[in-house]
Structure 1
């Protein structure tokens, strides 16, 4: 069973938002999974087959977390009851203690729909006397990562130091050539450059080289202050 499950609207969102944290957690012995909700296709330079190959390569760069695609419709992702039920059944199957979902504010309708799906399915997953397959289970926490299509300055709750995992994250992003390399405009920073620079900024705010930001709707309890970055 998984310690943490990252739910991504499309292949590449998990890598953009928290690829470094995934590698770090795996290195610390965590069982981490990624659930892509859709294929991410169609896109201008991609295809279903190409995106599957890119995703497989990116997953290797991330040190091979558990990964699955739920097969929901790209561009038409909605928080329907049927989709909620399918996601709740998956939560019961892999039983993650912690869920990671896209940040709740975004211009991309698939992203905000994914957030609503995760929150609704988390609640449904614990219901008894339901027709959802599996044994009731309630993930303890939802944290939110940033892979947004809005030009906003994130307001995170906490940061994770990914200084030692940055190169693995960038290698995973480069695997998505159809999305993040071949289609980038000339003369301006591309997505990968922007992700790297933003991780440097967030690292600066907590005194490390690179960090990834996360948000939480609920208070976070600490058993100790010994691991705080001071």
Structure 2
């Protein structure tokens, strides 16, 4: 089967990271006919609740709810994510395989060390994937995505730009609720920050982002490079 080419390739350290930070944006672009691919760097094997198998099923359902065309899970170690050559090569190989127009990764400033590590790994892979002589395990040719953006998981940071996700907020919440093992207390669950109103907190953050840009809901993003505006400087009247 031929590998699809992605308009958007989003990386996360664990399944549910991408949904938390940019589930609405993913849903918005898949609804517009764009091809979106998710890549989780780990199997989240050290999560306090759930199992690797249950998390994989939840991730599959969440991606389907958002209209994501493919979801890939790498085998890097949970809580063992570091800026290593192996991690960079694996991420670069995914970039070359799906040849995205734009790439998303977690914002580096986050309370969970794996999220920051994922950000640094993807930043290096974004650059290395475009170098013709850089070797990965695959046979794909070098590929340089046009942009690298960063989404927020934990915390509230001043964004460089926002995406209006008002029409997609319900889809985002559905995708988060697909992770029952993470966001709901079961008989065998232990309390974590995720089981204590986390989805409600994410919704509140997206509502606050929306207010910043005159919309009901929005997701905020950061960029390492300035954005070039050519035709829409004035914006809608």
TM over 0.5: yes
Alignment of 1:50-199 (within 5 A): 50-132=54-136, 133=138, 134-148=140-154, 152-182=155-185, 190-199=197-206
SS in 1 for 2:150: strand
Partner of 2:109: helix, strand, or coil?
coil
Could you give the per-residue CA deviations for residues 21-64 of structure 1, whole angstroms, max 9, x where no partner exists? 00001111211110011111222221011101111111121123
Give yes or no for contact 1:207–1:229 (8 Å, CA) kept in 2: no
Deviation at 1:204, TM superposition (A): 0.9
Query: Shift in Å at residue 185 of structure 1?
Result: 7.1
TM score, norm. by length of structure 1 = 0.92
Q: Following the alignment from structure 1 to structure 2, what is the Cα–Cα distance between the partners of residues 189 and 210?
A: 22
Deviations 1:136-186 (A, max 9, x none): 1111110000002xxx43110011111100000000000111111225679
TM-fit CA distance, 1:96: 0.6
Change (3 A) 1:8 1:185: closer
Give every structure 1 segment of 4 or more consecutive aligned residues whose post-TM-superposition deviation is greater than 6 Å: none
Query: Residue deviations 1:107-140, cap 9 Å, x none?
Result: 2111111011101111111122333232111111
Q: Which residue of 2 aligns with 1:222?
A: 229
SS, match of residue 120 in structure 2: helix
Could you tell me how far 1:217 is from its partner in structure 2?
Answer: 1.4
Q: Supply the distance in 2 between the matched residues of 1:54 and 1:229 (Cα, whole angstroms).
A: 39
Over 3 Å counting, the alpha-carbon distance change for 1:90 and 1:45 in structure 2 is same
The two structures, once aligned, show a CA RMSD in angstroms of 2.0
Structure 1 stretches lacking a partner, 5+ long: none
Aligned to 1:204: 211
Q: 1:19 aligns with which of 23, 36, 50?
A: 23
Displacement of 1:226 in angstroms is 7.3
Checking the alignment, whether the CA contact within 8 Å between 1:184 and 1:190 is kept in structure 2 is no
User: How many residues matched?
Assistant: 226
Counterpart of 2:12 (choices 8, 29, 51) is 8
